[in-house]
Structure 1
């Protein structure tokens, strides 16, 4: 008997899902979208990593080493520099991931059979990417050593690397991951709170009561947005406190610059959440809609894999993702000590996304009320 009841309940749930157009889309659409996003965007391979060459040696050995770097599919030489002062701007502006510095006595050291040190200056803000790029450089130098020794009829190892990472001196992966979690959890909580707000009213049968109140649709929308904003700020503050005290992540920049980014990020997150809530009839649909947005947002944000490694058309999609900009802000403030002026190019896209999503949410809300 129990089996028959369970089977009847299962059939009823299947019929309910198939009869609802939105539920059918949730069942079919998300797997296809996530498959495309993961298939194109999620890659741990590094290709065409931008590097700069600082070659103070004019000998043939250094030119041969540079040719090995230029011929590697993993690297793309985008700059040749001639002075120490040119190194910092390239890394600060993310124009290059690493700088290969070849000293003045590199070729002569190789010819004399003594040590020929090389210096690699890495952008350590993304420790995982930096370590992978470092491994590629090590492999190229190892191959170069073997080829050089074979051509000279010698054995041993003469070219050595001296590595220096900026911003994350010890290349601790949690310095890169934990600040990103601030954005992920803040987005998740804010999105769920706002996505469930109107759907909960419809499911409880109290949505019609909103129609007889003296409040206008936009005022109701703002009232629904305020709790999400407040909870998002509290959530972000709590995570930042844990990040600094428990994980010892440095907070080198301005708190004002960070919280301005948080407010603009929450503005866009609340807009997306209210859009989902406006088109959701039940809380289940709202939750599924929130997770439908969350998965592509995380993948396209650059949280785990570099955006530069994604195909060009996927990179264009990342400009619609507010999490992409906020991750740059939170990591910039924590690791680089970035100020308002340096983060301006991350502020205004989130403001535009927030205005557009809130406007669309208001339009959907008015059309769903009447």
Structure 2
């Protein structure tokens, strides 16, 4: 009986050793085991944080008094706040928020100094960009702590200054308004990347790819056919998510459908190019799944879905220009919540089209090269 157990354990040890050797001796497998760990750890460490180290703000000081100057000095002296514009009138506020140049606008009223000298409560207004509820609420909290420090330094700590907060495009800070429109883009990325990636690898693994090559279809026709299917499925899925946002969760859509679908279409084309490039270099569906897993997490994190791109290290900010999701996300949020039109969001299309113009020909070249 004991000899039987020893023999069983010995066989098990050899099987485990064989699997470890076959896994670790394969260079591609070693890279898959090591590279994602380092890449995702670094990206999570730098990007996946809700600490706002960079809060660009615009100032509208209608008081121009010593008291307002002291309060502004506390703001500018903090490590987090950077003044990007000093406004001359309230008509300039909309441009700062809409363009994304400023995360918030601080307005100090003309009677600020008089109210403080008389012991009255003076209210200053903070306008934040509600298209990203998490960062907007954090920025408000930062402002509140600085105002609290200013209150503590004068008038025996009485709260003589109060904040009046206004959130544009999401007045009630409903998190759903922020994430569900972004889900239109995120689900398109996941589905199209996976479908495009699996299109060629699946047929290779099933043994039907060689049969496809002996048909009258040219390699270009095969590639186009495999590109169109994921694009159509991605558009249908995006439409379903869009309908759920509008009619189920009743999130009002401020923009038009034309720029919305144009944004989704361009984004899907760029994702399809990436997916087909992955499929062309993959020998099996397992490789496709691993490559997609390695790419998906960094693309989502670097897009600014949860944390602002401006808060990332400068090197990673440059890397985000290669991430089509960053620009699709910005355009969709602006169209859905802000009501932006084509003329407002067209600059976001350029990086996505550049990615598509690179990945589509690359997929075609890899496809033809692997046939030889």
- TM-score range (shorter-chain normalised) is over 0.9
When residues 165 and 227 of structure 1 are mapped into structure 2, their CA distance, relative to the original with a 3 A threshold, is: same
2:151–2:157 CA contact under 8 A, matched in 1: no
Match of 1:361 among 356, 360, 363: 363
1:62 to 41, 64, 68: 68
What's the counterpart of residue 300 of structure 2?
Answer: 298
What is the TM-score of this pair, normalised by structure 1? 0.94
State TM-score, norm by structure 2.
0.94
Equivalent of 1:252 in 251, 254, 263: 254
Task: Report Cα offsets for 1:197-220 as digits up to 9, x if no partner.
Answer: 111112112222233222222211
Q: Say yes or no: does 1:50 pair with 2:56.
A: yes
Q: Decide which of 332, 339, 342 is 2:341's aligned counterpart.
A: 339
Can you give the 5+ residue segments of structure 2 that lack an aligned partner in the other structure? Answer: none
Matched, 1:193 2:199: no
Of 32, 35, 57, which aligns to 2:38?
32
Per the alignment, residue 242 of structure 1 pairs with: 244
Per the alignment, residue 122 of structure 1 pairs with 128
1:113 and 2:115 aligned: no
Q: Calculate the aligned-residue CA RMSD, in Å.
A: 1.7
TM-superposed CA distance for 1:19, in Å, is 4.4
Provide the rounded CA distance (Å) in 2 between the counterparts of 1:65 and 1:196. Answer: 58
Q: Deviations over 1:96-132 (max 9, x none)?
A: 1111111111111111111111111111111111100
Q: Secondary structure at the match of 1:65?
A: helix
Question: How many residues matched?
Answer: 366
Counterpart residue number, 2:176: 174
Q: Residues 1-370 of structure 1 correspond to what in structure 2 (within 5 A)?
A: 10-149=16-155, 154=156, 156-370=158-372
Q: Distance in 2 between matches of 1:19 and 1:270?
A: 32
How far is 1:253 from its partner?
0.6
Cα pair distance change 1:208/1:261, threshold 3 Å: same
Summarize the Cα distance change of 1:368–1:19 in structure 2 as closer, same or farther, 3 Å threshold. Answer: farther
How far off is 1:156 after superposition? Answer: 2.6
Describe the SS at the equivalent of 2:153.
Answer: helix
SS in 1 for 2:23: helix
Distance 1:10 1:329, change over 3 A: farther
Give runs of ≥4 in structure 1 deviating > 6 Å: 1-6
Alpha-carbon contact 1:43-1:309 (below 8 Å) kept: no
Residue ranges of structure 1 left out of the alignment (5+ in a row): none
